[in-house]
Amino acid sequence: MFEDTSHLSNEMDHEIIMHRNVHFGGSFTVMLEYYEKEGRGSQPEIEPSRIRALLQLEEQEPHCFDQFLFSDEEEKVQKAKGLYQRFQALYDIPDASPISLALADLILSEEEEPTQEIQRLEQLGGEATQPLIDLLLAEDFYDPLAPGYGYAPAFAALILGHLGDPRAIIPLFQTLGRPDYFIETIVVDALHALGTPAKEFLLKRVKQQPFSKENTHAAIALISFRDDENVSLVALNLLEAIAHDKKQLALSTYLTLSTSGLKQTAHRDRCIALSLKSTLPVELSHDLRSIIRTWEPHTP
């Protein structure tokens, strides 16, 4: 460990060195070339200029980073390396299952869009559903340090949507609300691709009481079904019941987005009346009026 760390940017340098040790064989040179080419695993917060600066430091003082990481960081590095070794070892097993190999190909792919790997898993059909669910729910693979750079669960969600197996509905729903927001759109699209069974599941969850984060997650996913008038009507019914409750503002905000599918005049009139109530939070009133203006014929 350095006695003088004034030339290091602390937390970010730890992240860079962890990524170097896991993904780039401990080589700043290899890592820098990868980042300059903007490889799929490049992390937006890591600047090539900082990698270059650390490379220069190491050239001036070889092995200066050998003991740089904290013990918990080194444990994460070793765990991620172990995952790499586990997948790479599959290629040496003569009777490795096609699904195991297909998953390894997906996770280890360096393609921005691993189209061939995705198609291969889709061709395996329902047999691939449970392994993909396991990958979707595997917390380790959301970490950018893991094989796949944290993107593997998103690809699993995408494939599950294409497979159309209703067994994926609950696991996909459980994935909503994660801090990894990039996966949310993919999960919502996957639930929409699963069609009526997913829609019915989400409608039950959005009405479930007592209200919790699950209601909000269901409301988020139901936005993709907003062209279904029944979904829009359920959203309106709930809004009329809870829109004045500031504790349910997040849920109400997402429900508002689903009212765009209202078709019947009576339902639209109820929505208009709700938007005009003085007790409605200003944000919701504004959102509802924005949607109302999109209806044909336009409502003043």
> What is the structure's pLDDT at 180?
77
Q: Are residues 136 and 115 in the same domain?
A: yes
At which of 28, 45, 69 does a domain end? 69
Residue 296 has pLDDT above 50, yes or no: yes
Q: How far apart are CA 101 and CA 285, in angstroms?
A: 53
Q: Are residues 80 and 186 in the same domain?
A: yes
For 228-273, what is each residue's pLDDT tens digit? 999 999 999 999 999 999 899 999 999 999 999 999 999 999 999 9
Angle at 260 between CA 257 and CA 263, to 5 degrees: 155
In residues, how long is the chain? 300
Q: What is the mean pLDDT of residues 98-121?
A: 96
Confidence of residue 299 (pLDDT cuts 50, 70, 90): very low
Q: Are residues 125 and 154 in the same domain?
A: yes
Q: Are residues 88 and 50 in the same domain?
A: no
Q: Are residues 181 and 132 in the same domain?
A: yes
Judge contact between 231 and 261, C-beta under 8 A: yes
Q: Are residues 283 and 216 in the same domain?
A: yes
Look at the alpha carbons of 146, 147, 150, 156 in this order and tell me if their dihedral is positive or negative.
negative
For 198-238, what is each residue's pLDDT tens digit? 999 999 999 999 999 999 999 999 999 999 999 999 999 99
Chain mean pLDDT for the chain:
93
Residue 297 has pLDDT above 70, yes or no: no
Q: What is the mean pLDDT of residues 69-98?
A: 95
> What is the structure's pLDDT at 206?
98
CB atoms within 10 A of CB 254: 19
Q: Are residues 104 and 144 in the same domain?
A: yes
At which of 21, 51, 69 does a domain end? 69
Q: Are residues 200 and 147 in the same domain?
A: no
Residue found under tokens 């689903």: 258
Q: Are residues 162 and 88 in the same domain?
A: yes
Residue found under tokens 């997948």: 87
Q: Are residues 189 and 206 in the same domain?
A: no
Give the closest residue to 287 by CA, choosing from 265, 271, 270, 268: 271
Q: What is the mean pLDDT of residues 181-210?
A: 95
Judge contact between 202 and 191, C-beta under 8 A: yes
> What is the structure's pLDDT at 2?
42
Q: How far apart are CA 32 and CA 19, in angstroms?
A: 11
Q: Are residues 15 and 81 in the same domain?
A: no
| Number of domains the chain is built from | 3
For 150-172, what is each residue's pLDDT tens digit? 999 999 999 999 999 999 999 99
Q: What domain range is 241 assigned to?
A: 196-292
Instruction: Report which DSSP code applies to 6.
Output: T
Q: What is the mean pLDDT of residues 127-136?
A: 97
> What is the structure's pLDDT at 1?
40
